Structure 1
């Protein structure tokens, strides 16, 4: 019997009150908040906001609880932008949307940092069944500028080694989501696709948690999909909102992991799906895949929900929790 787990990709929007409080802090500039040197007043706001988003997930009935990544103004680039070996360059468009991040320019060796582990320690004090969230190594390297390693292959390996070191410092977590939109948006070329798989493998092997690789903004090319399946991961994700037919084609042509993560709820659109609609999408997926007895199906947003107004994020989290319970009732 398939286990259905309601969760999210993390990277939540800030609660409205937290935005107001942070804006009101004397001398506050937006990107000062993610420098890693926040003052006690700013830290207190983030602590309270973290407690709130954890409670929102618990009230929604989500089976995996994420920290929320509320400090990640630079989105997936955050683990590098707060690193001592990185200088932040100019403002760069974040994939093909109206969000922007500071270009992380790597100017020295990427040694251990511990920023994300500290966030997870705080989340673990508030909830059980914690899910860690990180950028995948290919996406993080793609979002960064290398001015130290001097070779794309060496840089990707260094980013993977850095992320693996961060993962090793994590508290005990149930799952680790590696978010890999660049595998779709800027797919690796021949040779690089195998190295991307090896980089994911290096990060996945740093934890005993179940590892989910979540591409989004579309479906993977056939060759990249096949290479990602070579990595030692527990589940591969599919953005069924953006390109359900492409995702289905990959699965039926090349197979997939024993467990899968299904992007069922639109993380960029304010229209709130019903739990019944989400459950129907799961049914459609199972009916159209040759192997419909997966070990686990993660029901999640297709992208990070930080694009959404906070109230819409709350509603969509509740939909995911309810959809998983509907499936349990039907079984």
Structure 2
């Protein structure tokens, strides 16, 4: 039987009390972070948010604890939004939903900031549990950004990959790194770009000793994109079984998988809370149809969880935690 690891892709909703305390501060976050002048008031709020999110994951019994990304106002664009080489401009819709981020426009050569590493390092101070880091994947980050410096799409993707590799290299010791790649589904690369996208993932994955999980979501990868992704030196590929279980199981059965897989079995955008038994059935369904005999299954939400009300978010953490503490007991 596969080892089941209960975890999440991160991107958590802020606690209700923090939403009341932060509005006056949030507009200054990017400039404050770049100048190194993040106010003590703002820093204190985010420290408390981080500790609360970590404590809640431990209480739920998750096997991998994430920092929670409470500071990521621009969601997956955050690592660029805090860079001195990037201007944040107008508000852009985040894929096809009602969330928004500031457009990151790259105006100079990118250099790693260490911002995400500092967050994850801070997370390790609150727990002795296994810590998991999350970064946007290189293709998705390039897709969400605008290039006004490199001038060529292939060069820009390569620069984004090197930037993220530097961010990954600066991470403290973690068990796993999730690279979140929804753009591979939402705006799939064309011929040639699909191979470069795989190479970009490989660049980031090679920068860390941790197990690397590439996690597309909001559907299934096109067949050629999926096949190229398997060429990257990664430990696990993800399947969003909530958005499109049939196409995902087809890819796995037709083209094979990595030895480990990540299965999106909790709906990160729907308030209906799944039972641990339902989650286990979804894992068994995938396993039966792929005959994968996987070494490890990362049981996770199909998307980030910031779409959910806090109470439903917490209940879904509990369901995931119970998957490995109750159902498999």
TM-score if structure 1 supplies the norm length? 0.96
Contact 1:275 1:319 (8 Å CA) reproduced? yes
Output one character per residue of 1:40-73: Cα deviation in whole Å (capped at 9) or x when no partner: 0011000001000000000000000000000001
Structure 1 residue 33: Cα displacement: 2.7
Contact 1:299 1:324 (8 Å CA) reproduced? no
Indicate the larger mover: 213-222 or 32-41: 32-41
CA 1:2–1:327 in structure 2 vs 1: closer, same or farther (change >3 Å)? farther
Contact 1:200 1:231 (8 Å CA) reproduced? yes
Match status 1:30 vs 2:26: yes
Tell me what 2:44 maps to: 44
Within-5 A mapping of 1:221-240: 221-240=222-241
Structure 1 residue 328: Cα displacement: 2.2
| SS across alignment from 1:298 | strand
Q: How many residues align?
A: 324
Contact 2:276 2:327 (8 Å CA) reproduced? no
Tell me what 1:194 maps to: 195
Contact 2:242 2:302 (8 Å CA) reproduced? yes
Structure 1 residue 255: Cα displacement: 0.5
Tell me what 2:312 maps to: 312
| SS across alignment from 1:206 | coil
Structure 1 residue 29: Cα displacement: 4.8
Contact 1:13 1:308 (8 Å CA) reproduced? yes
Contact 2:265 2:300 (8 Å CA) reproduced? yes
Unaligned runs of 5+ in 2: none
Contact 1:34 1:72 (8 Å CA) reproduced? no
| SS across alignment from 2:9 | coil
Tell me what 2:69 maps to: 69
| SS across alignment from 1:116 | helix
| SS across alignment from 2:264 | strand
Match status 1:110 vs 2:106: no
Q: What is the CA–CA distance in structure 1 between the aligned matches of 2:321 and 2:27, rounded to whole Å?
A: 33
Q: What is the CA–CA distance in structure 2 between the aligned matches of 1:164 and 1:255, rounded to whole Å?
A: 27
- Aligned-pair Cα RMSD in Å: 0.9
Contact 1:210 1:233 (8 Å CA) reproduced? yes
Match status 1:131 vs 2:127: no
Output one character per residue of 1:107-156: Cα deviation in whole Å (capped at 9) or x when no partner: 00001211001001100111231100000000000000000000000000
CA 1:31–1:39 in structure 2 vs 1: closer, same or farther (change >3 Å)? same
Tell me what 1:18 maps to: 18
